[in-house]
Amino acid sequence: MEQNRIVMSEFGTVAQPDPCQSYLGRFLSRFVPRTFTDNCNINWAQYGDEFYAVTDGTLMRKVNPNSLETLHKVDISDRIAVHSTSSHPHTAKDGTVYGLGSRFSYRSSYNIIKIPPHDQDVKGDPLSNASILCSIPASGTYPTFYHSFAMTDNYFVFVEQSAVINLLKVLYAQLFFKSYIIGMEFHDERPTRFHVVKRYSGELLPQIYTSIPFLSFHHINAYEEAGHLVIDMCIYEDGSILRDINLKDLRNGVKPAQFGKAKRFVLPVGETIEDYRGGSRPNWLEIFKADVTLKEDGSVYCVPQVIADRNVEFPRMNYELYNGKPYRFFYANGGELNQKLLKVDTKSVTSEEWFEDGCFPSEPIFVRSPDCKSEDDGVVLSSVVDLRKGKHSFLLVLDARDFTEVARAEVEAEVSFGYHGMFLHK
């Protein structure tokens, strides 16, 4: 605001040159590495008893959870050698936090980051003991785009998808004042690859798993069953969504050509892979209605199963009790512009919805009951931006079981639309 211009390039916007610089200064600034955004507006993360606003870069902002006062800035790349991170870390029962970060070079890599539990009685930075548990070499010349990953009781699953980052175009963006989105490409000739890592040893399994080309932002859940890994994700069949969410187009009523679909992938692990040799197909696989083929080269090809009857995005579920475990329900946004809230039953492939015209709800956040007796025993929270004349935006509370409204709390102030949120137990 002080500079009255965009001073830092973002995903779809570009920094404007400083008008006070000389022509030579502006030219030389093209060869100075840009500082990645500290606009940490994507998600929240908890490390020990500290809370941070995070983004997909390496910078995060420590925030006082009681007053929401913004405190100091932290750069995770000062602790470990990564150039970007996922804004969707996973938290284990013992308080260990696992993240994912990329290292860009002529041979890029994807790295599972481990942040051990922080002793509440010991002062210090909970991120100071961060380490790399496993490094996964990139399969192609250009590293993949990702936003999240999966964790089960015994494994991590990283999806190397068909959406890639063209590092040469990113360099071009640096030199010619372009936004980084020009480096995003979708290679439909490049199959998706699933990488499986043992959670406790960090061992990368050599087995190759591939599937249809797709783009994904969010995992729903993943779990283990009968020697298989079951991975549920919101996926897009091409990369058009990256450009269809252009603000100018959205303001002009242009709707995206592709919408997210909830699909399930089933990966056999260990000795279970042999059950598919010779084209055989175990009868119990009908439970998933997904297809698995063991190819002649020893790789496993997976065809996904649809688990929702409509388009979905921003999925949430009963994370505390069911992350990494068999589950049935998840909650998401839906509709052409994500104007609906949905409860999806993955068993019956049906859904229930909440919708009010002129309202734009945030991601639905599930909060379980203190004495939770069933998977959907709790409430769903959503911050709703209400654009109707004379109306106020509000916090919506839905009963997670029957998806009926319990209450709403209106706010007599301008409220920005948010992507992700966190409920803090007090």
Residue numbering of the annotated binding site for Fe cation: 88, 147, 218, 420
Q: Could you give the CA distance from residue 262 to residue 241 in angstroms, rounded to a whole number?
A: 15
* Residue tagged 């492939």 (tokens): 349
- CA distance to 152, 327, 422, per residue, from 64 (Å): 31, 33, 14
DSSP 104-167: -STT-EEEEEEEPPPPTTS-S-TTTT-EEEEEEE-SSSSPBP-S--EE-SSEEEEEE-SEEE-H
DSSP 78-106: GTS--SEE-S--EE-TTS-EEEEEEE-ST
Question: Is the CB of residue 363 less than 8 Å from the CB of residue 317?
Answer: no
Which residues, listed in sequence order, are joined to residue 112 by a DSSP beta bridge?
100, 134
Question: Is the CB of residue 260 less than 8 Å from the CB of residue 342?
Answer: no
Strands 163-165 and 184-186: antiparallel
Q: Could you give the CA distance from residue 159 to residue 162 in angstroms, rounded to a whole number?
A: 10
Q: Could you give the CA distance from residue 280 to residue 291 in angstroms, rounded to a whole number?
A: 11
Residues tagged in the binding site annotation: 88, 147, 218, 420
The two structure tokens encoding residue 149: 């990953």
Q: Could you give the CA distance from residue 311 to residue 332 in angstroms, rounded to a whole number?
A: 9
Residue 180 region, left (φ>0) first, then alpha (ψ -120 to 50), else beta? alpha
Alpha helix ranges (H) inside 115-246: 167-175, 241-244
